[in-house]
Amino acid sequence: MASTTLRHQVYCELDPAAREHRGLSLTNKLLVVLIILASAQAIVETEPTIVAGREELFRSTELMFGLIFSVEYLARLWIAPENPYCSKQRYPRLSYVFTPSALIDLAAILPTLLSMGMTGALFLRFFRVLRIFRLAKLGRMSSAWSDLAAALHSRRYELMLTVMLAGVAILVSSTMLYLAEGGVQPDKFGSIPRSFWWSVVTLTTVGYGDAFPVTALGKVFAGVVAIMGIGLIAIPSGILASAFSETLQRRRQRELERDKKTN
């Protein structure tokens, strides 16, 4: 069956999971470049000083990206039955339409399709930025995510606990500052939820300077909170960094051993 063979060829070209070799096919490499370009365009397009006077240029490139991604979407829909997961379903193409990847792809072409008819749908174009997440499924990034997930999983207990400790630290410090500064700065510390903003900004050491204590008691509380709490916020990232580094080194060792066996 020529049609099936062609479909299978297209499938091998479009789906990284179907390839024997590591790396991406030429079509997918091209698509990665196009997704990056389209994302960059979607980002730049939000800046009025750049768009001003170049509306036509932006509209036509935008239309071009929309058409290319529509063709890609239809192609992927066509090859869905080749996919081992979708082919097991009753309606392979329908089940493909509702996979997260396909939904992101659809969100990326929808704005172009809608804006062809009307002009008010411009804000929908923002969905194109979402498409950058598709990059996450391609090539090297893919193993990065699984490594990060493994690191998160291996330390999930530590991370959960430290996140809970951080939550308690935010709650306690907000309450303290609400009691100390609530009367003097009602717009910033007038309630515990309002004080949350100060707590987060202080415990993460961002310290914008839009909210800070002015009374002596508030400063003493804030000083204690800053010194005690910073450790709490720093612990999760320390744990995560060591777990991530460990996961990657283990993987490298595994790859080295596999290479030895092959030779």
- How would you class 154 by CB atoms within 10 Å of its CB: exposed for 0-12, middle for 13-18, buried for 19 or more? middle
Determine, following the binding rule CB under 8 A, whether residue 107 of this chain makes contact with its own copies: no
Determine, following the binding rule CB under 8 A, whether residue 128 of this chain makes contact with its own copies: no
Determine, following the binding rule CB under 8 A, whether residue 173 of this chain makes contact with its own copies: no
CB 206, min distance to its own copies, A? 4
Determine, following the binding rule CB under 8 A, whether residue 138 of this chain makes contact with its own copies: no
Determine, following the binding rule CB under 8 A, whether residue 32 of this chain makes contact with its own copies: no
Determine, following the binding rule CB under 8 A, whether residue 46 of this chain makes contact with its own copies: yes
Instruction: Identify which range of 15-23, 72-80, 95-103, 242-250 contacts its own copies by CB under 8 A.
Output: 242-250
CB 24, min distance to its own copies, A? 16
Determine, following the binding rule CB under 8 A, whether residue 184 of this chain makes contact with its own copies: no
Determine, following the binding rule CB under 8 A, whether residue 179 of this chain makes contact with its own copies: yes
Among 97, 192, 215, 217, binds its own copies (CB under 8 A): 192
